[in-house]
Structure 1
Amino acid sequence: MRFMHQDGTTVHLGYCSNVHQAEDLKGVVSQLAEYAEPVRERLGVDRLGIGLWLARPVVTELAADPGASKRLGGELRARGLETITLNAFPYAGFHREVVKKDVYLPDWADDARLEYTLDCARVLTDLLPDDAERGSVSTLPLAGRTPWPARRAENARRALDRLTTGLSALEARSGRSVRVGFEPEPGCVVETTAQAVRELGGLDPERLGVCLDACHLAVQFEHPAAALRRLADAGLPVVKLQASCAVEAHDPADPAARAALRRLAEPRFLHQTRTATTDTVLGVDDLPDALDGGLPDDTGPWRVHFHAPLHTRPEPPLRTTADQLGHVLAGLLGGPSADCDHIEVETYTWSVLPEPPADLAGGIAAELDWARTRLTELGLKEDPS
């Protein structure tokens, strides 16, 4: 879906396909028919944005065969879909039985990450609608929080210089601009916007910036207004917003809250958990660690990196950080200028909910309708074309 901001900027809203299990081109095309087109029909719109996640094998095939990219673009257009952004955070295997910290591999100290990201950007230039101002690709925040010695940090910095050069060459060759956004995430080298400024400041803002995930921002107890101001002051653009909600336990010592959290402690994905004291944020890298005594339950609420559907409430007494997501949207789009033009609803956790939905397309459509309502409340006008 497209919206017009009062300053004339076209703001794109879609959902991320990493919720679907597809790691070959045939599977990607199938998910368009099984899920994305029905989502569009549920919303009653003629055009729906879908932020594709293309695993490494898919990108390899598309990058090697321009005809394959054109066929994928034709499938998108035939189903009333458009792609202006790719999620290149997971490299492959995102729906294995256990993913956990493997999602951070390869990291930005490994040339494979640079090559994959540039291949994603090349594929995206073939998929972009003719009238799109630019495309975006989101990626991990350098690496998971593993030993990050100076040598690996320097390797990553050189890779970012090569990324800038590669994106510039791609624009010169294709005439299409693609920006890459690094996504701060709890448990990584870059967890917060302050760390993003420290690690990514000084990079070319025409090519590189931040992918801001509202769930991650909430888990780290960052205040939206302060976080957005920090990025703006550093000249780090918000290339893309991932509209997402964390799960919050207001009183983590409450037995009912702990029982509900236990039902979210599943084996596939990491669910980093944080609590905040007066002067610091304390955390562990997975929810079971918190529940087993790794995190105090008497300092305040716990927030859990579990992407909760935007429009629903989790099992009581848990709640979500939907209000904080609303503040992020207002901070980016509620003023006289649009400070982000790519928004992607990214709830990839539907399949690991305690009660997965029977109607996934209906759930995704309801999330997008929630986001559509928030954008129109901020004064954006939906583009019906």
Structure 2
Amino acid sequence: MSDFPPGRCFLGLISGTSADGIDAALVRFDDDHAHAHARPALLHGRTHAWQPALRERLVTLGQQAQALTLDEVGELDVRIGHAFAAAALATLREAGLSARDVAAIGSHGQTLRHHPHGDAPFTLQLGDAHVIAERCGIPVVADFRRRDVAAGGHGAPLVPAFHAATLHDPSEDRAVLNLGGIANLTLLPARGTVRGFDTGPANGLMDAWCQRHTGMAYDADGGFAAQGRVDGPLLARLLAEPWFAAAPPKSTGRDRFHLDWVDAALAGTEAPADVQATLLALTARSVGEALRATQPGTRRVIACGGGVHNPLLMAALAEAMPDAAIESSAVHGLDPDFVEAMAFAWLARQHLAGRPGNLPAVTGAAGPRVLGALYPA
């Protein structure tokens, strides 16, 4: 059992663009609800593997614009909800905690589609919160993105508000770089407005290309990319994608940056390892160019997400941003593998406290909004 009063921790759950696992983070804040800037402490974090057939289905849906029947959407919603509930219960067991130790679960779910443009903008995350609440006996806050979209925003990225609450420093201009399936930047000026936006692909394309050509789910330590050389003409064709030149606020996902998009840019003569090296360079270049265009005085880039563990990518990023120190969020007390999951624990806390979870300057929403919906235990 816990050695702290009941209800003092929150459990964040998220499966990102790469659908490489369900990240779970048990987080305790230094108070319950009184302060938005309470310092978080990670009590326990773990990535729970998807059941292989379900993951394969999610990855396929992310890579290809397939039509789904209503029955298929409904069944996926429930199956993902059960997977998230199982991850939550396993995390509690491993931490030696029970339901009464947790004030709420913040569940992001799995994004099925993200289309914040058009006549009827929408974003859709699956993972039935009723199932999670029923199985865990804990209140669940879920469906965080749609209120921001309803208010005219992109519904993404949402993590910059958490970055601002935990990593801002009044003595220097900083940026937080999340290297998940998609890369996104949070700009934390010493003084001024916090901004944030997606910069383009990070691990998602590299993972998919690696899976296609090696059978491995990801490029461990950048070994596959290290076997190749950057193809300059291919990189130029990829960087010519108009989305990169669009001004923030902006967000994207696997429905834009997928293998069909890569295939359309290929000349047909590239070696697979050269393409992998070029995709890695695409991430570094697009991040570097985005930072120079939006906060050229950045002195420190704090990196988190799975890409932190790819030394080749981190070296390429350092080369692309030579004027800034690049370091892991671990240096600042935040485990890089669980920053996003911690953020959704924080967003659940914000919801219960009746505080906004979005930053309008980041998402483009009409104003601050309390995000998510509460599903009682």
TM range (shorter): 0.3 to 0.5
TM-score, structure 1 normalization: 0.33
Report which structure shows greater RCO (CA 8 Å, sep ≥6). Answer: 2
